[in-house]
Structure 1
Amino acid sequence: MELLHHPELADTLRMALLDLNAAGWGPGQSPDADAIADVLGEDRARVREIAATLWQLLDILVPLLATLDLEAAHALLSDDEAPASETELGRRLAVRLTPTGHQALRTAARHPNLDTARRVMSLSLPELNAAITALGPTHQPLRNAEGIEQEFRHFVVGRRQGILGALRAGFLEAYRSGAPLTAYAENRHLTGLMPDAAWADHHFHLENALMQAHVDHWLTGLGASPLGTDAGLMPVDELRLTNRPLLMDRLKRARTLIHVWEAMHDEPASGLPGDPESLAAEAAAAGLLGFLPLEDATTLRWLRAEDRWLAAVPLALTPEELGLTPGQLKVAALAWLMNRYDTVEDSAWVSGYRNKVLGDGIGDDSLGYDLVVERKRSSLLFEVKSSAGGEGEFVLTPTEIARARSLKQRQTFHVHSHALDADLRKIYLLPNPLHPRSAYFFRSVGEGLRYRFQLSRPGECRAGTGPK
Structure 2
Amino acid sequence: MPPAESGDVVVRLAEANGLRAQRTSTTHVQVRHRDGASITPSGQAAVFIRGREWLVTVVALAMELKSGAFVRRSERGVRVALERLRAFRVVHADDVEITVSGTPAEPPSSTRSLPLPDHEHPTVVVWRSDEGWDELQAATPAVAQLLDRPWLQDALELVLVKLERAFGGSSPTLVDDGVLAAALDTTEAKVAEIRRNLTGDVQDTVRLLRPVLACLAADAWSEEAAHLLGRAAGERELVWIIDRLAPGLPLPSAELVALARSCTKPMELRDELGLDFQQFNAALVALGYSPEYYPDRHEQVFGDFVRARSGILLDRLRERYAVAAQQGEDISGYAAARGPHDLQPDPDWLPRFITPPEGAMRDRVREWLRAHGADDDLERPTELEAVDRLRERNTAALDALVPALPPLVTAWCRRHGVQVPAGWHGAVLLECRSFIDGTGLGDLLPLSEGRLLDAVGRAVGWPAGMPHAADPAALGLTDHDFAQTATRARDSVVSTIVAPRTITIGDAEVRVGSDQFATIADIASKTIDEAFLAQPGRVRLDTVAGVPRQRNGGGPSAKPRIVVARTKRTTEDQRSAIGLVGEVAARAWLQRHYPDVRWTSGYAAVVNGDDEASDSLGYDFEVTWRDTTRLYEVKALSDPCAERVEFELGPSEVEAARRHARGNRYRILLITSALVPDERRVFDLPNPFSAQGPDRFRMVSRGVRYQCSPLGKERSSDSH
What TM-score comes out, normalization by structure 2 length? Answer: 0.34
TM-score if structure 1 supplies the norm length? Answer: 0.50
Q: Which has the higher helix share?
A: 1
Task: Name the one with the larger strand percent.
Answer: 2
- Structure showing greater Rg: 1
